[in-house]
Copies of this chain bind each other. A is one copy, B any other.
Amino acid sequence: MNKDLVRGNAIIGQSGGPTAVINQSLVGVIEGLRLGLHAAGIVDKIYGMRHGVKGLTKGDLIDLTTMHQDKLDLLALTPSAGLGSTRDKPDDAYCDRILEACKKHNVRYFFYIGGNDSSDTCRIVSEKAKASKYDMRCFHVPKTVDNDLMENDHTPGFPSAARFVAMACMADFLDNISLPGIKINVVMGRHAGFLTAASALARRRDREFDDVPMESSDGPQLIYCPEVAFDTEQFAADVEAIYSKKGRCHIVVSEGIQDKNHVPIGAKLIKNAQVDSHGNVQLSGSGALGDQLGDLLKEKLTPAGGKPPRVRADTFGYIQRCWPDASVIDRMEARRSGRFAAQLALHGEQDGSVAIVRTHSGSSAWLGSTQGEAYASDYKRVELSAIAAKTRHMPAEFLKGHNNVSRAFIEYCLPLVGELPGFARL
């Protein structure tokens, strides 16, 4: 036990878009505190903030100190943010109010589970506490289905969302070959294409043979990430090349695709699109992008005097981030990320963010091989400033051309999602 530990209370909040495993992290922090600082008599109360810092500043807290372990275990399996979340982006005055609220409740350990905006809030609050000589230790626990946090091999929430996207695309490709036509699926991801790229796990034929021609690949045959400038003419030509050979085409597009000037294609299409306090224009919760791309294809691919091709567009929407059948590895890692944050506090750290490190590649997941090594990960502390308000993008080696992902990406992603169903084709 570190002798510089300060006595007082702890508080935990959840922020940003919920995930299927963000409650695992919440329970992980609670368990870590109970077994450590609370057991040692350093931490007295363990509070939860209702709707993140919004509830904290209003005094809307819940006492989690003695919640029964049965309830914690069920809460951990419950998708979405059990404490409630917020999209508030605290400005300077707001952060002062956060600090005041912490002082009022004698909070000395502040845990915030969220993405890069949340870690930025954590960083500002930590600096304000230091500036006012109030000893409060601030820790960020990573969470985001977008997988766009720096320093992390991947982030809790992503593997489960990736699992949903892979399974949905698997099933939807089988639907597409059953009733052929052109099918567009729109996947979440404002700036980073990881979740869109995860759709490639739906392909089985690609896992067996390296050089399948694109039109003979299992779906999705075309994958468009926000990291590559999206050109509508090129898009129509890509689809036509496959459709003309197969009479069908299975496509996945990120909601965040941008033109060459980095203007998001989707944001322009949603009528009265809503803007959150971070300045993010609404991309989800609308089918506008898929519908518009479908209309474009109907227009471009209708033969002279002929009928337009059958085109359908689905937007996976919010269920991809909260689908209850989470990845098993994601559940474990989210829980352990929370526990690790509590351990950082126990070891006397003043602040920091938890990051996931991959220690074993998991190449045995590739093709279900018994060769290669099993997947394993560990946790490290990184500076809050290394995560805060920064965005990680798909590295170049994960992309293949302008409309596909590489084998390196599949090897990276496959161990995270857990076992995917096997399918027979006639």
Query: Is A378 interfacial (CB 8 A cutoff)?
Result: no
Most B CB atoms within 10 A — which of A170, A321, A422? Answer: A170
Most B CB atoms within 10 A — which of A14, A82, A298? Answer: A82
Digitize A153-177: 1 where CB-to-B-CB distance is under 8 Å, 0 elsewhere. 0000000000000011011101101
Contact between A425 and B82 (Cβ–Cβ < 8 Å)? yes
Contact between A317 and B314 (Cβ–Cβ < 8 Å)? yes
Question: Across the interface, which residues of B come within 8 angstroms of A316, CB to CB?
Answer: 317, 319
Query: Is A235 interfacial (CB 8 A cutoff)?
Result: no
Contact between B322 and A172 (Cβ–Cβ < 8 Å)? yes
Alpha-carbon gap, A425 to B67, bound state (A): 12
Contact between B324 and A71 (Cβ–Cβ < 8 Å)? no
Contact between B168 and A319 (Cβ–Cβ < 8 Å)? yes
Query: Is A377 interfacial (CB 8 A cutoff)?
Result: no
Question: Across the interface, which residues of B come within 8 angstroms of A422, CB to CB?
Answer: 74, 77
Contact between B168 and A81 (Cβ–Cβ < 8 Å)? no
Question: Across the interface, which residues of B come within 8 angstroms of A83, CB to CB?
Answer: 426
Contact between B318 and A295 (Cβ–Cβ < 8 Å)? no
Indicate whether A313 sits within 8 Å of B285 (C-beta atoms), given known contacts A178-B81, A321-B175.
yes
Most B CB atoms within 10 A — which of A48, A178, A284? Answer: A178
Contact between B80 and A323 (Cβ–Cβ < 8 Å)? no
Query: Is A84 interfacial (CB 8 A cutoff)?
Result: yes
Most B CB atoms within 10 A — which of A85, A183, A274? Answer: A274
Q: Name the residue of chain B whose CB is nearest to the CB of A14.
A: B178
Chain B min CB distance to A209 (Å): 20
Chain A at the B interface: mostly helix, strand, loop or mixed? loop
Query: Is A93 interfacial (CB 8 A cutoff)?
Result: no
Digitize A59-81: 1 where CB-to-B-CB distance is under 8 Å, 0 elsewhere. 00010000000010011011111
Indicate whether A312 sits within 8 Å of B291 (C-beta atoms), given known contacts A74-B423, A324-B171, A426-B62.
no
Query: Is A308 interfacial (CB 8 A cutoff)?
Result: yes
Most B CB atoms within 10 A — which of A80, A288, A294, A324? Answer: A80
Contact between A78 and B424 (Cβ–Cβ < 8 Å)? yes
Question: Across the interface, which residues of B come within 8 angstroms of A79, CB to CB?
Answer: 171, 174-175, 423
Question: Across the interface, which residues of B come within 8 angstroms of A424, CB to CB?
Answer: 71, 74-75, 77-78, 82
Query: Is A41 interfacial (CB 8 A cutoff)?
Result: no
Alpha-carbon gap, A175 to B87, bound state (A): 13
Contact between B315 and A317 (Cβ–Cβ < 8 Å)? yes
Question: Across the interface, which residues of B come within 8 angstroms of A315, CB to CB?
Answer: 287, 314-315, 317
Query: Is A310 interfacial (CB 8 A cutoff)?
Result: yes
Q: Name the residue of chain B whose CB is nearest to the CB of A309.
A: B274
Query: Is A303 interfacial (CB 8 A cutoff)?
Result: no
Contact between B313 and A287 (Cβ–Cβ < 8 Å)? yes
Query: Is A131 interfacial (CB 8 A cutoff)?
Result: no
Indicate whether A314 sits within 8 Å of B325 (C-beta atoms), given known contacts A179-B18, A287-B288, A291-B287.
no
Question: Across the interface, which residues of B come within 8 angstroms of A142, CB to CB?
Answer: none
Indicate whether A314 sits within 8 Å of B291 (C-beta atoms), given known contacts A174-B322, A175-B322.
no
Residues of A within 8 A of B (CB): 14, 17-18, 20, 48, 62, 71, 74-75, 77-87, 167-168, 170-172, 174-175, 177-179, 183, 270-272, 274, 282, 284-288, 290-291, 294-295, 298, 308, 310-319, 321-325, 421-426
Would you mind naming 11 contact pairs between A and B with Cβ atoms under 8 Å apart?
A20-B171, A75-B424, A77-B422, A78-B425, A80-B171, A81-B179, A86-B179, A167-B325, A172-B322, A285-B294, A288-B291
In the complex, besides A80-B178, A272-B308, A286-B290, 20 extra interface pairs with C-beta distance below 8 angstroms are A48-B426, A71-B424, A74-B423, A75-B426, A81-B179, A83-B426, A87-B179, A167-B325, A168-B323, A170-B324, A172-B318, A172-B319, A174-B322, A183-B285, A272-B298, A284-B312, A287-B290, A314-B315, A314-B319, A316-B317
